[in-house]
């Protein structure tokens, strides 16, 4: 009831915003001194504080918050376990002041923890996030000596069709609070974080695109905003546009995804204008830009490519892909914390549920690692025989190679990684990275991880309606969604089919070396033992939820 009241209160406050307002305020430190040169914004335009820390601005009639871009020299203020850098606008209030605490530590080195797609759709999902992901993050953070900050990459909940999940926003916010994770989380909106249709336009919302983001704003704060640590400027933005339909959420039929409104592009241009070009910019989105030519995407790529170093952080796909776009900007597509929609402990491409850690040094990311939930950080490779077979009672999938072919799923690999095969202590050769394919059954040159496909379709029964003792009546779902792209599958044939000791060694671009000597044999789902046990529980939880 308390959470529901908080949500209703947030919605009431949002509804008080109506027209353009002339507002002002002062940013001061804890000694009362004004702070100059800080960007203040309503999410549509930006102004900068003067020598005395004062600002004035006329807000957009669509704005619901006023906030500042947290300077590196000051701590991140905390309220209720979350970053506190914004205030909700109220038509009766014209002055918005902020007090900042100087940071005694020059945080030139710190770690960013990127969490993609927690995606709580029901109580079972919420419970798994609370009991698996959250303790794992907390344990990692507690072991660090460098400052750590967290960023979600969208789809914190999962509203779609008949699944209405606004009620999980507050519990997910609480799950990610500092008390639980020992981390301050900055949130990014995803396409499943929209409000539940139908939505309506009021005096403070001119488009349905904005109406669909109001629920998120009421719980998590601004949608387009920035903050700074050390020599890094970090931006979170929404990168999809909802169509003009109050009764059913859908992407804008004209613009496609990803895309940005003209107002967003204007805001980003103003926000980055205050950032020196020798800084690093990290742009946090939900849907991948890749090299797509959608509305304002090219302009956004060009804007961030002007800085000393730039990275784009992405969620959405529930698979891993690290690559460089045509501007030389690294785009990191992250495997999901929820994996393949909480049906297992793995994503659709076989990468374990988990999160990615970035080691920032000045204006440079010098290292990154993937941390599988419940796994040591050294676990970066799963290895199969070329004739291994995976699946279960619903369907089986067999790799179409000989027993002496070795396949390796190297979770974080990008095209610059080097992956080698050794047999009996001798180098066999460099393994071949299989180009991405879209096949639906195992074939030679297939790049899919049939271990993951076998579990989700063959064991859990996704795309089947059959109900068994351990399966839920909610089984089904599109088959295509569980035939996920795998961008990091390697292969090579042994020189000696009778080799006793076989090892895959992967060298990343940052100097890290990972090894795997254990084959995941046919029908070996011991890694998913947790979800094997939870299938019965899941049936009971889902029956209570839907």
Concatenated DSSP letters of 427-485: EEEEPEEPPP---SS--TT--S-HHHHIIIIIIS-TT-----TTS-TT----GGGGS--
Q: Which candidate, 168, 212, 164, places its Cα nearest to that of 190?
A: 212
Mean pLDDT, range 302-312, rounded to an integer: 97
Mean pLDDT, range 162-174, rounded to an integer: 93
- Please report the pLDDT score of residue 253 as a whole number: 87
Name the band, by pLDDT with cuts 50, 70 and 90, for residue 41: very high
Name the band, by pLDDT with cuts 50, 70 and 90, for residue 532: low
Give the percent of the chain with pLDDT over 70.
Answer: 91
What whole-number distance in Å separates Cα of residue 509 and Cα of residue 519? 25
- Please report the pLDDT score of residue 543 as a whole number: 44
DSSP sequence for 314-369: E-SSSS-EEEE-TTS-EEEEPPBTTTTTTSSSB-TTSPBSEEEEEEEETTEEEEEE
Name the band, by pLDDT with cuts 50, 70 and 90, for residue 467: very low
Name the band, by pLDDT with cuts 50, 70 and 90, for residue 477: low
**pLDDT over 80 at 472, yes or no:** no
Mean pLDDT, range 349-373, rounded to an integer: 97
What whole-number distance in Å separates Cα of residue 487 and Cα of residue 489? 6
Mean pLDDT, range 458-476, rounded to an integer: 60
Mean pLDDT, range 101-114, rounded to an integer: 96
- Please report the pLDDT score of residue 538 as a whole number: 52
Residue that wins the pLDDT comparison between 384 and 19: 384
DSSP sequence for 55-85: EEEE--TT--EEEE-B-TTB---EETTEE--
What whole-number distance in Å separates Cα of residue 187 and Cα of residue 176? 10
Name the band, by pLDDT with cuts 50, 70 and 90, for residue 546: very low
Residue that wins the pLDDT comparison between 482 and 221: 221
Residue that wins the pLDDT comparison between 12 and 332: 332
- Please report the pLDDT score of residue 440 as a whole number: 87
Name the band, by pLDDT with cuts 50, 70 and 90, for residue 292: confident
Mean pLDDT, range 11-18, rounded to an integer: 45
**pLDDT over 70 at 236, yes or no:** yes
With both helix axes pointing from N to C terminus, report the angle between 262-273 and 297-304 in degrees, rounded to the nearest 10: 10
- Please report the pLDDT score of residue 476 as a whole number: 58
Name the band, by pLDDT with cuts 50, 70 and 90, for residue 481: confident
Weakest mean pLDDT among 84-93, 265-274, 439-448, 529-538: 529-538
Weakest mean pLDDT among 214-228, 408-422, 456-470: 456-470
Residue that wins the pLDDT comparison between 203 and 443: 443
**pLDDT over 90 at 536, yes or no:** no
Name the band, by pLDDT with cuts 50, 70 and 90, for residue 10: very low
What whole-number distance in Å separates Cα of residue 545 and Cα of residue 365? 42
**Pairing between β-strand 78-79 and β-strand 82-83 as defined by DSSP bridges:** antiparallel
- Please report the pLDDT score of residue 350 as a whole number: 97
Angle at 450 between CA 367 and CA 160, to 5 degrees: 75
Q: What is the 3-state secondary structure (H, E, C) of 221-265?
A: CCCCEEEEECCEEEEECCCCCECCCCCCCCECCCCCCCCCCHHHH
CATH class, range 2-69+79-97: mainly beta
Q: Which candidate, 522, 518, 524, 492, places its Cα nearest to that of 503?
A: 518
**Pairing between β-strand 389-391 and β-strand 232-236 as defined by DSSP bridges:** unpaired
Mean pLDDT, range 392-404, rounded to an integer: 94
Residue ranges in 93-251 assigned as alpha helix (H): 123-128, 134-142, 169-175, 178-181, 208-211, 214-220
Residues of the chain with CATH 2.60.40: 2-69+79-97
- Please report the pLDDT score of residue 470 as a whole number: 40
What whole-number distance in Å separates Cα of residue 527 and Cα of residue 535? 15
Name the band, by pLDDT with cuts 50, 70 and 90, for residue 533: low
User: Which superfamily, per CATH, for 110-372?
Assistant: Metallo-dependent phosphatases (3.60.21.10)
The strand pairing partners of 346, in sequence order, are: 352
DSSP sequence for 482-510: GS---S-EEEEE-S-TT-S-EEEEEE-TT
**pLDDT over 50 at 133, yes or no:** yes
Mean pLDDT, range 122-129, rounded to an integer: 90
Residue that wins the pLDDT comparison between 468 and 503: 503
Q: Structure tokens of 322?
A: 């690290």
Weakest mean pLDDT among 108-112, 152-156, 389-393: 389-393
Name the band, by pLDDT with cuts 50, 70 and 90, for residue 326: confident
Residue with tokens 């579990």: 455
- Please report the pLDDT score of residue 17 as a whole number: 47
Give the percent of the chain with pLDDT over 90.
Answer: 80
- Please report the pLDDT score of residue 224 as a whole number: 98
- Please report the pLDDT score of residue 13 as a whole number: 42
- Please report the pLDDT score of residue 223 as a whole number: 98
- Please report the pLDDT score of residue 540 as a whole number: 53
Q: pLDDT of 45-82, one tens digit each?
A: 999 999 999 999 999 999 999 999 999 999 999 999 99
| Beta-carbon contacts of residue 435 (< 8 Å; ≥ 6 apart) | 445, 447
Residues of the chain with CATH 3.60.21.10: 110-372
Mean pLDDT, range 320-346, rounded to an integer: 93
- Please report the pLDDT score of residue 15 as a whole number: 43
Q: Structure tokens of 299?
A: 């302009």
Question: Are 362 and 276 contacting, i.e. CB atoms less than 8 angstroms apart?
Answer: no
Mean pLDDT of the chain: 91
C-alpha distance across the termini of the chain, in Å: 19
- Please report the pLDDT score of residue 110 as a whole number: 98
Q: pLDDT of 494-509, one tens digit each?
A: 999 999 999 999 999 9
């Amino acid at each position: 009831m308390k959470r529901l009241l908080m949500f209703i209160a947030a919605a009431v406050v949002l509804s008080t915003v109506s027209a353009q307002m002339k507002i002002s305020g002062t940013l001061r430190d804890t000694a009362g001194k004004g702070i100059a040169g800080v960007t203040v914004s309503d999410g549509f335009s930006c102004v900068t504080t003067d020598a005395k820390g004062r600002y004035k601005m006329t807000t957009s009639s669509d704005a619901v918050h006023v906030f500042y871009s947290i300077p590196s020299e000051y701590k991140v203020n905390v309220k209720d376990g979350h970053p506190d850098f914004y205030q909700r606008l109220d038509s009766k209030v014209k002055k918005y002041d902020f007090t900042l605490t100087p940071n005694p530590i020059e945080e030139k080195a710190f770690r960013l923890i990127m969490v993609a797609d927690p995606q709580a759709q029901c109580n079972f999902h919420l419970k798994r996030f609370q009991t698996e992901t959250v303790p794992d993050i907390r344990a990692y953070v507690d072991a660090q000596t460098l400052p750590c900050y967290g960023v979600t990459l969208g789809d914190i909940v999962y509203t779609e069709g008949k699944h209405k999940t606004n009620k999980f926003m507050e519990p997910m916010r609480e799950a990610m609070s500092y008390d639980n994770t020992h981390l301050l989380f900055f949130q990014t909106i995803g396409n499943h974080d929209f409000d539940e249709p139908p939505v309506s336009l009021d005096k403070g919302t001119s488009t349905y695109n904005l109406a669909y983001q109001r629920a998120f704003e009421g719980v998590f704060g601004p949608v387009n905003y920035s903050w700074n640590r050390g020599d890094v400027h970090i931006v979170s933005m929404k990168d999809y546009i909802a169509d003009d339909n109050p009764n059913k959420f859908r992407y804008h039929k004209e613009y496609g995804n990803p895309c940005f409104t003209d107002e967003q592009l204007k805001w980003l241009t103003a926000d980055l204008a205050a950032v020196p070009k020798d800084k690093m910019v990290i742009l946090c989105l939900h849907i991948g830009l890749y090299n797509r030519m959608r509305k304002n995407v090219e302009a956004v790529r060009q804007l961030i490519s002007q800085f000393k170093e730039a990275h784009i952080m992405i969620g959405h796909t529930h698979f891993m892909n690290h690559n460089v776009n045509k501007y030389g900007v690294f785009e990191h597509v992250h495997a999901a914390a929820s994996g393949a929609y909480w049906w297992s402990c793995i994503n659709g491409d076989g990468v374990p549920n988990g999160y990615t850690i970035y080691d920032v040094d000045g204006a440079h990311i010098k290292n990154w690692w993937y941390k599988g939930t419940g796994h040591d950080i050294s676990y970066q490779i799963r290895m199969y025989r070329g004739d291994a077979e995976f699946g279960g009672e619903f369907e089986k999938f067999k790799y179409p190679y000989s027993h002496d072919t070795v396949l390796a799923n190297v979770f974080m690999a990008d095209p610059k990684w080097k992956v080698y095969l050794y047999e009996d202590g001798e180098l066999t050769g460099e393994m071949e990275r299989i180009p991405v394919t879209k096949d639906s059954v195992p074939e030679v040159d297939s790049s899919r991880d049939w271990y993951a496909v076998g579990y989700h379709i063959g064991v859990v029964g996704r795309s089947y309606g059959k109900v068994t003792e351990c399966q839920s009546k909610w089984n089904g779902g599109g088959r295509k969604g569980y035939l996920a792209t795998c961008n990091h599958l390697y292969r090579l044939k042994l020189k000696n089919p009778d080799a006793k000791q076989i090892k895959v060694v992967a060298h990343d671009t940052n100097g890290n070396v990972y090894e795997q000597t254990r084959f995941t044999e046919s029908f070996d789902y011991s890694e998913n033992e947790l979800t094997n046990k939870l299938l019965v529980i899941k049936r009971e939880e889902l029956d209570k939820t839907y």
